[in-house]
C-alpha cells in the first residue's frame, strides 16, 4: 500500500511525474476522477488553505471529505506509547486510527512539531502511527518533519513561472516572527527543490540549522537530479542572482538553543525582515514565495507581498492542483493508475 507523508514516498522521478500531471490537469481538468471515494481528514492543528484545498479537490473530483478536528467536536487523542491516560485525552490513536480507516478510503492528517526536540520531531511519530495503523492510504497535510504537498505546490509555481528547474538558483531565506515556527515547510521546500534539480541556497542566522537528516536527504536528491544545496549565514550572498526568494520562519535548532530561550533567539534577528531591499539583492526577474499565513511587516513587508514579484496567491492555488493528482493515485491505487504512480 502506498502512502504520501514524506517526499521519499515520491523520490526524484515521482516529483517530476506529479508536477507534470498537475500542469496538464490545470489545462484540462480530469472530471469526476474521485467518484464514490471518501477521504477522512484529521486535524490536530488549525488550517485554512490545507483544509479548503483538500476538500475542494475531493468535491470537484466527485468524492467527499469528512473533517475531524481533534479536541473540537472530536475527543482529544493521546499519541504517546505506554501513556497512563489519566489526563484530558480520553482516547488513544491506537484505537482511533484503525477505526477511522474502516470508514473511509484514505486518511489525511495534519499534526505539528512539538518544537522541544528536533530529533523527536524528525522521527514523525504521529504521522508514522497513521501509516502503521490506518489500513488505508495516508497523506500528510503537514507533520512534525515535512509538509510535502506544500513543497510540491511551491515547485509547481516555480515551474510555471521560471520553466525548467534544473540548475535554477533558488533561495530559502529565514524570516523573523513573534515566535519560533516548525521546520516542516522549509524542510519540504528544500527537499522538493533539490529533487527538481534546483541550485538551492539556504540562508539563516547562526543556530537556526535545519535538521541534519533532511539536509543529507536533500543533497542525495540534488546529486541525482543535477541540483545542489548550500547553506550560509550570509543572506545577500545567498540571494545574489537568485530567481526565487522563499521567505519562511523556523525555530532554532534545539541542540543549540533550549526551547525556553527559542523565542528570545528569534526576536534577536528582526533585521532579517524581508523588504524590497532584500529582493533587490536577487535577480531582477526573481519571484517571491511564502507558504502563508504571513505576519505582514514582521516577516515580510507589505511592499513585497503586494508587489509585482509576489506569487503567494498562485502558490496557494497550486496546493489544489498537486493534491488532486496525489489523491487520484492514492485513492485509485487498487485500479490501473492512468496518470501518475507514487513510488
Q: Which domain holds residue 198?
A: 150-315
Are 246 and 310 in contact by the 8 Å Cβ rule? The answer is no
Beta strands in 123-249 (DSSP E): 138-140, 169-174, 199-203, 228-232, 244-248
Q: Is residue 337 part of a domain?
A: no
Q: Are residues 278 and 161 in the same domain?
A: yes
User: Which has the minimum average pLDDT: 1-10, 72-81, 184-193, 230-239?
Assistant: 72-81
Span 124-149, average pLDDT: 98
Q: Is residue 339 part of a domain?
A: no
Q: Are residues 70 and 99 in the same domain?
A: yes
Q: Are residues 52 and 155 in the same domain?
A: no
Judge whether residue 66 has pLDDT over 70: yes
The pLDDT score that the predictor gives to residue 260 is 81
Percent of residues, the chain, with pLDDT higher than 90: 94
Number of domains, the chain: 2
- Across the chain, mean pLDDT equals 95
CATH code, 100: 3.40.50.1370
Which residue has cell 523527536?
120
Q: Are residues 67 and 213 in the same domain?
A: no
Please give the DSSP secondary-structure letter assigned to residue 274: B
3 state DSSP class of 47: coil
The pLDDT score that the predictor gives to residue 171 is 98
Q: Is residue 341 part of a domain?
A: no
User: Which band of pLDDT confidence, cut at 50, 70 and 90, is reported for residue 105?
Assistant: very high
What does the pLDDT look like over 170-224, one tens digit per residue? Answer: 999 999 999 999 999 999 999 999 999 999 999 999 999 999 999 999 999 999 9
> Percentages helix, strand, coil for the chain, rounded to the nearest 5?
40, 15, 40
User: Which band of pLDDT confidence, cut at 50, 70 and 90, is reported for residue 341?
Assistant: very low
Are 222 and 200 in contact by the 8 Å Cβ rule? The answer is yes
Q: Are residues 265 and 136 in the same domain?
A: no
Across-strand partners of 74?
A: 70
Q: What are the cell numbers at 46?
A: 488549525
Q: Are residues 96 and 184 in the same domain?
A: no
Q: Are residues 128 and 211 in the same domain?
A: no
Sign of CA dihedral 83, 88, 90, 96: negative
Using omega within 30 degrees of 0 as the cis cutoff, is the peptide bond preceding 171 cis?
no
With helix as H, strand as E and coil as C, how does 92-128 read? EHHHHHHHHHCCCCEEEEECCCCCCCHHHHHHCHHHH
Q: Is residue 218 part of a domain?
A: yes
Phi, psi at 78, each rounded to 5°? -85, 135
Q: Is residue 336 part of a domain?
A: no
The pLDDT score that the predictor gives to residue 338 is 39
The pLDDT score that the predictor gives to residue 335 is 55
What does the pLDDT look like over 119-128, one tens digit per residue? Answer: 999 999 999 9
Residue 106 vs residues 89, 136, 177, 217, 332: alpha-carbon distances, Å: 24, 5, 35, 27, 10
Q: Are residues 173 and 268 in the same domain?
A: yes
Which residue has cell 524570516?
175
Convert 106-122 to b/e letters by CB count within 10 Å (16 or more is b): bbbbbbbbebeebeebb
Q: Is the pTM of this model over 0.85?
A: yes
Q: Are residues 188 and 99 in the same domain?
A: no
Q: Are residues 121 and 19 in the same domain?
A: yes
> Comparing 297 with 259, which gets the higher pLDDT?
297
3 state DSSP class of 140: strand
Q: Is residue 343 part of a domain?
A: no
Q: Is residue 338 part of a domain?
A: no
Span 308-333, average pLDDT: 97
The pLDDT score that the predictor gives to residue 256 is 80
Q: Give the integer Cα–Cα distance in Å for 296 and 203.
A: 20
Q: What are the cell numbers at 196?
A: 527538481
Judge whether residue 334 has pLDDT over 70: no
Q: Are residues 40 and 65 in the same domain?
A: yes
Are 108 and 55 in contact by the 8 Å Cβ rule? The answer is no
3 state DSSP class of 319: helix
271: left (phi over 0), alpha (psi -120 to 50) or beta: alpha
Q: Is residue 283 part of a domain?
A: yes
Judge whether residue 29 has pLDDT over 60: yes
Q: Are residues 157 and 41 in the same domain?
A: no
What does the pLDDT look like over 244-274, one tens digit per residue? Answer: 999 999 999 998 888 889 999 999 999 999 9
Span 309-313, average pLDDT: 98
Q: What are the cell numbers at 19?
A: 508536477
Residue 114 vs residues 13, 118, 125, 202: alpha-carbon distances, Å: 32, 8, 11, 23
Amino acid at each position: 500500500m502506498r502512502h504520501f507523508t514524506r517526499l521519499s514516498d515520491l523520490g526524484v522521478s515521482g516529483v517530476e511525474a506529479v508536477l507534470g500531471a498537475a500542469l496538464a490537469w490545470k489545462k484540462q481538468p480530469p472530471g469526476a476522477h474521485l467518484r464514490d471515494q471518501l477521504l477522512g481528514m484529521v486535524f490536530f492543528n488549525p488550517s485554512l488553505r490545507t483544509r479548503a484545498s483538500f476538500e475542494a479537490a475531493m468535491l470537484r473530483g466527485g468524492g467527499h471529505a469528512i473533517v475531524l478536528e481533534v479536541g473540537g467536536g472530536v475527543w482529544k487523542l493521546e499519541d504517546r506509547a505506554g501513556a497512563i491516560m489519566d489526563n484530558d485525552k480520553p482516547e488513544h490513536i491506537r484505537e482511533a486510527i484503525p477505526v477511522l480507516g474502516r470508514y473511509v478510503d484514505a486518511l489525511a492528517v495534519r499534526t505539528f512539531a512539538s518544537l522541544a526536540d528536533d530529533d523527536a520531531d524528525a522521527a514523525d511519530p504521529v504521522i508514522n502511527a497513521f501509516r502503521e495503523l490506518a489500513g488505508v492510504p495516508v497523506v500528510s497535510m503537514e507533520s512534525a518533519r515535512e509538509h510535502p504537498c506544500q513543497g510540491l505546490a511551491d515547485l509547481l509555481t516555480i515551474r510555471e513561472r521560471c520553466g525548467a528547474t534544473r540548475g535554477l538558483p533558488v533561495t530559502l531565506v529565514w524570516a523573523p516572527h513573534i515566535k519560533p515556527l516548525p521546520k516542516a515547510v522549509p524542510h519540504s521546500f528544500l527537499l522538493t527543490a533539490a529533487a527538481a534539480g534546483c541550485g538551492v541556497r539556504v540562508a539563516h542566522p547562526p543556530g537556526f540549522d535545519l535538521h541534519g537528516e533532511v539536509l543529507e536527504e536533500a543533497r542525495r536528491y540534488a546529486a541525482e537530479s543535477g541540483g545542489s544545496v548550500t547553506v550560509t549565514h550570509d543572506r545577500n550572498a545567498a540571494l545574489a542572482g537568485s530567481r526565487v526568494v522563499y521567505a519562511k520562519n523556523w525555530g532554532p535548532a534545539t541542540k543549540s538553543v533550549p526551547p525556553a530561550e527559542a523565542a528570545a533567539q528569534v526576536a534577536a534577528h528582526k533585521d532579517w525582515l524581508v523588504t524590497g531591499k532584500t529582493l533587490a539583492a536577487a535577480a531582477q526577474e526573481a519571484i517571491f514565495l511564502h507558504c502563508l499565513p504571513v505576519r505582514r511587516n514582521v516577516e515580510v513587508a507589505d511592499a513585497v507581498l503586494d508587489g509585482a514579484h509576489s506569487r503567494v496567491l498562485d502558490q496557494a492555488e497550486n496546493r489544489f492542483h498537486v493534491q488532486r493528482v496525489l489523491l487520484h493515485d492514492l485513492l485509485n491505487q487498487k485500479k490501473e493508475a492512468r496518470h501518475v504512480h507514487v513510488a
